[in-house]
Amino acid sequence: MKLYETLAAELAQSIQDGVLRMGDRLPSVRQASTSRAVSPSTVFQAYYLLEARGLIRARERSGYYVAGAAQKLPPEPEQASQPDEASSPVDISERVFEVLESAKMRDLVPFGSAFPSPLLFPMARLARAMASSVQQLDPWSAVDDLTPGNPQLRRQIALRYLADGLHIHSDEIVITNGALDALNLCLGAVTRPGDAVLVESPTFYAALQALERNSLHAIEVPTHPREGIDLAALARAIERHQPKACWLMSTFQNPLGSLMPDEKKRDLVKLLTQHEIPLIEDDVYGELYFGDKRPMPAKAYDSKGLVMHCSSFSKCLAPGYRVGWAAPGRFTRAVARHKLTTTLAASAPAQAALATYLEKGGYDKHLRQLRHTLSVQQTLFMEAIARYFPPGTQATRPKGGYFLWLELPAEVNALELHRQALALGISIAPGPIFSAHHGFTNCIRLNYGHAWDERSETALATLGALVQKMV
Amino acid sequence: MKLYETLAAELAQSIQDGVLRMGDRLPSVRQASTSRAVSPSTVFQAYYLLEARGLIRARERSGYYVAGAAQKLPPEPEQASQPDEASSPVDISERVFEVLESAKMRDLVPFGSAFPSPLLFPMARLARAMASSVQQLDPWSAVDDLTPGNPQLRRQIALRYLADGLHIHSDEIVITNGALDALNLCLGAVTRPGDAVLVESPTFYAALQALERNSLHAIEVPTHPREGIDLAALARAIERHQPKACWLMSTFQNPLGSLMPDEKKRDLVKLLTQHEIPLIEDDVYGELYFGDKRPMPAKAYDSKGLVMHCSSFSKCLAPGYRVGWAAPGRFTRAVARHKLTTTLAASAPAQAALATYLEKGGYDKHLRQLRHTLSVQQTLFMEAIARYFPPGTQATRPKGGYFLWLELPAEVNALELHRQALALGISIAPGPIFSAHHGFTNCIRLNYGHAWDERSETALATLGALVQKMV
């Protein structure tokens, strides 16, 4: 255990023992450094760690305070969803667009947004990487380095897999226009119109839109708000519907934020492999963990090349660049060919810029800062929800990402709440857009990936009051 | 008539009159400037013009010579194609990939390539535009300026339409990942699996691949090598098959190079409009005309919003950037939504860079140079084909673009020729990849968009000898 971890552990014990109580001010960094005979940076690191764990809170220009105890947070939902387990065609895209398009204005409070604040990204460093790489771009690369994509970038991605313990050769990586493209290409590679596809319940609306566009049927599988898809229900659905693919997010699921435990991921892959069902794994939030290490994707347990792992740089680094990738196992060639006949390739300058940025180092440092910021913002959000929302409100407590999923009292109509909030300048993502059966009528997804400030606090108070009125 | 045009006309007359004969050396620029009392730049312009028309030829470091006369060029094919006019599912993608993947190596003579040489593009100026625009990129644009795309870029495209006499508002433009994405999105917006789609014969292989991927049926319509699709045959096919869309290139068709006369384009739109059939118009070569003005797209005759005009910067300016667009008329909203659910948006830095480049001016100057280069290279190619290919060889004489279509003697097997040429380091595009029915067995497409040099000359001689052996 490092020095700052020891210090953090001691302070955490003091908080747990009630020696330090909610609202107490911690010693200043200078005081603590002197009294404990450690460097100021050790104290800082300890405080950061405690802050990341939600135990203490920084207030601007006045130091650190002990945060509210756990009982001040809204309770977590404990029940897995209970979707209609039939297989059905999807007809939801129109509704999703209605909601998304209404929430597009920049001056809204962006609780409904799908992206974290772009101000959290190293735009200037990326711009420098872009400027230097584009000037060195080999003209022939523009016509030669089509799909599967820039070799340097694929190598950097393979190296990151390796650092996480996954052996994926750069030849097994196909660069795409963001993760959404990767997911769509994987879906196209393993399904034909009329096929049935397993999804979580609730699930990412773009997955439902992809099924609808490709005339596929959705089978919504019960999903637990903390531990992800229900494997027993999944097994039943496989027997009943002979699905051709499963599309899910095993880590920090959108919208629940659920994280499947390692063992469950392993069992998931085992079950699907027994039935030869390809898994399309959307892992765009995997890097945004608040714990000690990156949760393994289900891909880590794939021995038969049946898991198609998809991710991108859009949620962690460079949203507008539209660069993602698929590691589609045995379907690599099919996915690459699919890419060639749809959009040909991802943008060459964007690929080169990301390769340059990754080669120079600094991505991991940026990610550490980003995770810290998001974890602090989650705590602030949770506390405010506890303050402003009526009893009966439940909120997931994700261990990463930037979404909260709220189950509001049963009488709340999330679509109506969305309309009322919009009229007051606040966007939210209402539950029904996350289900082919238009369920989750009393649920909403909130984005805490934007700076916490007075405006957010006021907006959450307003939202809480709207909910209160509906109860 | 400008001074240089007068001078060019006089010289052309001398060539026609036989005063100057094939192989004769023209006076040096200095001599002509002195003897005619005009500026050297006037002489240069006159010589360029004659070169563009194929009447004279530059030889490196030794001046200009009178080129071969017209009878030295291979004859043009005069018959429209006669495809099987049935509607049929498409099964060609595998063969197309076999051919394309085998021809990917950089050290091949790239007669089979789909792209002109990237050395013809202003890469350095583009890189500067990219470097300056990315550093000014508004971070919020990355999450806000998704589809329909960068407003400045859409405005620049609308201005270019306007300069050509087309009134298309920037709100009717959707930025895409190159034209292929635009075409696929348009196809997706107006068809469902099982529908029939009208295409030319021969047609661009990616159109066939798109039909195959979407489980659509192809109706191949007879097409004339100079004037494009046969309207009487088109009318018959409409009556017989009730197609849901027509996908074609009215200007410099790939692979024929055919250009539909204005009146025929107008009649095409009229015919399709009568039957409410959307036209997906692929116009990626429209800017590469050798004549006085840009040929109007069929879109110019569209009064009902049924023509979906698709183009890009990939063939004229920035191949690797993957930025194109659709102007889909009444389907604009459907196409934009389709884009949002497949790849979300095109790369923001690439869009911003192109907007900056276009705002600064210089695109038209670049295009003039590019057209001149391509037109000269076409003549050089044609002459070499006349020299090296056996009698019975016919070649189209496109008025723009960078493809020639060769009809070789009937006994030539283009796929076998492709294999033999490949073994000798030369790529070609064999006719059968341009037809759902695997026709055009004795045809090939050649790319003349790469610098003409000894290597090209030798490669054409080799190719001619291979053909000779098959006859």
pLDDT of A138-151, one tens digit each?
Answer: 888 877 778 899 99
pLDDT at B211: 96
Reply yes or no on whether the pLDDT at A264 is more than 90.
Answer: yes
Distance CA A379, CA A383 (A): 6
The ipTM value here is: 0.86
CA distance A464 to chain B (A): 27
- Answer yes or no: do A134 and B130 touch at CB < 8 A: yes
Check if B134 contacts A (Cβ < 8 Å): yes
Check if B144 contacts A (Cβ < 8 Å): yes
Reply yes or no on whether the pLDDT at B70 is more than 70.
Answer: no
Helix (H) or strand (E) holding A406: strand A403-407
Check if A101 contacts B (Cβ < 8 Å): no
pLDDT at B65: 84
- Answer yes or no: do A342 and B345 touch at CB < 8 A: no
CA distance A117 to chain B (A): 8
Q: Within 13 A of A130's CA, how many CA atoms are on the CB side?
A: 32
Confidence grade of residue A68 (pLDDT, cut at 50, 70, 90): low
Distance CA A163, CA B95 (A): 39
pLDDT at B190: 97
Reply yes or no on whether the pLDDT at B140 is more than 90.
Answer: no
Question: In this prediction, what percent of chain B has a pLDDT beyond 90?
Answer: 72
Residues contacting B104, CB < 8 A, separation 6+: A144
Residue A66: strand pairing partners: A56
Question: pLDDT (tens digit, 9 = 90+) per residue, A24-62?
Answer: 788 888 888 888 889 988 998 898 888 877 788 887 677
Name the one residue in this structure whose structure tokens are 């891909």: A299
Reduce the DSSP state of residue B407 to 3 states and report it: strand
Question: pLDDT (tens digit, 9 = 90+) per residue, A335-359?
Answer: 999 999 999 999 999 999 999 999 9
Mean pLDDT, range A83-93, rounded to an integer: 87
Check if A469 contacts B (Cβ < 8 Å): no
Question: Residue A357: its chain B contacts at CB < 8 A?
Answer: none
Question: Residue A319: its chain B contacts at CB < 8 A?
Answer: 142-143
Residues contacting A454, CB < 8 A, separation 6+: none
Question: Residue A215: its chain B contacts at CB < 8 A?
Answer: 192-193
- Answer yes or no: do B343 and A177 touch at CB < 8 A: yes
Distance CA A167, CA B170 (A): 47
CA distance B25 to chain A (A): 36
- Answer yes or no: do B346 and A127 touch at CB < 8 A: no
Question: Residue B181: its chain A contacts at CB < 8 A?
Answer: 342-344
Confidence grade of residue A69 (pLDDT, cut at 50, 70, 90): low
Question: pLDDT (tens digit, 9 = 90+) per residue, B115-128?
Answer: 999 999 999 999 99
Reply yes or no on whether the pLDDT at A67 is more than 70.
Answer: yes
CA distance A378 to chain B (A): 21
The chain A residue lying nearest B185, using CA atoms, is A342
Distance CA A346, CA A146 (A): 8
Confidence grade of residue B285 (pLDDT, cut at 50, 70, 90): very high
pLDDT at B68: 65
Among A144, A177, A340, the residue with its CB nearest the CB of B177 is: A177
CA distance A101 to chain B (A): 10
Residue B235 and residue B273 in contact, taking contact as beta carbons nearer than 8 Å: no
- Answer yes or no: do B344 and A144 touch at CB < 8 A: no
Distance CA B364, CA B346 (A): 24
The chain B residue lying nearest A134, using CA atoms, is B127
Range 293-352 of A in CB contact (< 8 A) with B: 318-323, 337-338, 340-350
Mean pLDDT, chain A, integer: 92
The separation between CA B454 and the C-alpha centre of its own chain, rounded to angstroms, equals: 25
Question: Residue A98: its chain B contacts at CB < 8 A?
Answer: none
Neighbours of A145 (CB within 10 A): 22
Mean pLDDT, range B314-329, rounded to an integer: 95
Question: pLDDT (tens digit, 9 = 90+) per residue, A391-418?
Answer: 999 999 999 999 999 999 999 999 999 9
Among B213, B318, B341, the residue with its CB nearest the CB of A213 is: B341
B119, B130, B205, B339: best mutation site toward chain A, by most A Cβ within 10 Å? B130
Question: pLDDT (tens digit, 9 = 90+) per residue, B2-36?
Answer: 888 888 888 887 876 667 777 778 888 888 888 88
Residue A124 and residue A326 in contact, taking contact as beta carbons nearer than 8 Å: no
Q: Chain A to chain B, count of Cβ pairs less than 8 Å apart?
A: 182
Distance CA B200, CA A394 (A): 60
Reply yes or no on whether the pLDDT at B69 is more than 60.
Answer: no
Question: Residue B345: its chain A contacts at CB < 8 A?
Answer: 320, 322
Reply yes or no on whether the pLDDT at B317 is more than 80.
Answer: yes
Check if A142 contacts B (Cβ < 8 Å): yes
Reply yes or no on whether the pLDDT at B60 is more than 70.
Answer: no
Residue B382 and residue B73 in contact, taking contact as beta carbons nearer than 8 Å: yes
Neighbours of B243 (CB within 10 A): 26
Question: pLDDT (tens digit, 9 = 90+) per residue, A8-26?
Answer: 888 877 876 667 777 778 8
Question: pLDDT (tens digit, 9 = 90+) per residue, B384-400?
Answer: 999 999 999 999 999 99
Question: Residue A213: its chain B contacts at CB < 8 A?
Answer: 188, 338, 341-342
Among A145, A343, A350, the residue with its CB nearest the CB of B350 is: A350
Check if A471 contacts B (Cβ < 8 Å): no
Question: pLDDT (tens digit, 9 = 90+) per residue, A191-221?
Answer: 999 999 999 999 999 999 999 999 999 999 9
Check if A97 contacts B (Cβ < 8 Å): yes
Mean pLDDT, chain B, integer: 92
Domains and CATH numbers, chain A: 3-70 (1.10.10.10), 86-119+365-470 (3.90.1150.10), 122-363 (3.40.640.10)
Check if B193 contacts A (Cβ < 8 Å): yes
Check if A188 contacts B (Cβ < 8 Å): yes
- Answer yes or no: do A93 and B341 touch at CB < 8 A: yes
Among A97, A140, A176, the residue with its CB nearest the CB of B106 is: A140
Mean pLDDT, range B150-164, rounded to an integer: 96
Among B121, B124, B320, the residue with its CB nearest the CB of A141 is: B320
Residues contacting B21, CB < 8 A, separation 6+: B15, B66
The segment with the largest mean pLDDT, out of A132-141, A229-238, B123-132, is A229-238
Which parts of B91-237 are beta strand (E)?
Answer: 109-110, 174-176, 196-201, 217-224, 228-229
Reply yes or no on whether the pLDDT at B422 is more than 80.
Answer: yes
Residues contacting B102, CB < 8 A, separation 6+: B422, B427
Name the one residue in this structure whose structure tokens are 């390769």: A355
- Answer yes or no: do A337 and B93 touch at CB < 8 A: yes
Distance CA A446, CA A450 (A): 11
Distance CA B334, CA A105 (A): 20
Question: Residue B192: its chain A contacts at CB < 8 A?
Answer: 215
Query: Phi/psi class of residue B267: alpha, beta or left (left: φ > 0; alpha: ψ in -120 to 50)?
Result: alpha
Of the listed ranges A14-28, A272-286, B185-199, B257-271, the least confidently predicted one is A14-28
Neighbours of B16 (CB within 10 A): 11
Residue A311 and residue A324 in contact, taking contact as beta carbons nearer than 8 Å: yes
Mean pLDDT, range A92-111, rounded to an integer: 85
